Amino acid sequence: MRALRFAVGLLIALTLHSLLDRFYPNALAFFNPYIILVTYYAMGGNIVGAIFAGIAAGFVQDAFSNVMFGLHAFSLTVCAYIVAYINARLVLRGTLAFGACLGGAVIVNELVIYLLVNILVRQKIEMFEQGLLVKTIFTLLFGMLVYQLLTLFLREEPIDATRRAAW
């Protein structure tokens, strides 16, 4: 069931990406639907599933963007791993926990992309200007709206978090 939700979410994110790209070509500089999807999926605490979700969503984003192939796949995988690891330990649930994880994931995603572009391509990109703050705020607001709509639509907590067994 979670895989089906992820596939539907990936199609919605891709559709949103395509529509935003058609009407406003640089829209993904201010909003990232893929990080919302990966964070939502990783909140369940399944680390292996979150890694595969990050890889799949990242490769889809790379395929429809004009960037180095694998850049977003790596950054979304790192974000998915971190969020899933934290949620496997703490079992976070609710809108505020999702918002905190999403905000952190957006910042980590941008930081990983910034480091990879500077190291691999040796191209300077501006990270700490208003773009990071605007992207974090827009993605956070839209992500929390989606989370609330899922809560209303499903009539239950949309994230089924489980605690990972201690070693």
pLDDT tens across 81-140, in order?
999 999 888 888 888 889 999 999 999 998 998 888 888 887 766 666 667 888 889 999
**For residue 34, what are the contacts with CB-CB under 8 A and spacing of at least 6?**
13, 17, 57, 58, 60, 61, 72, 76
The pLDDT mean for the chain works out to 85
Give the residue from 100, 119, 111 showing the smallest Cα distance to 76: 111
Q: pLDDT band at 167, cuts 50/70/90?
A: very low
Kindly state the percentage of the chain with pLDDT values over 90: 43
The DSSP output letter for 28 is G
pTM, rounded to two decimals: 0.86
Q: 149-161 as b/e, with b when 16 or more CB fall inside 10 Å?
A: ebbeeeeeebbeb
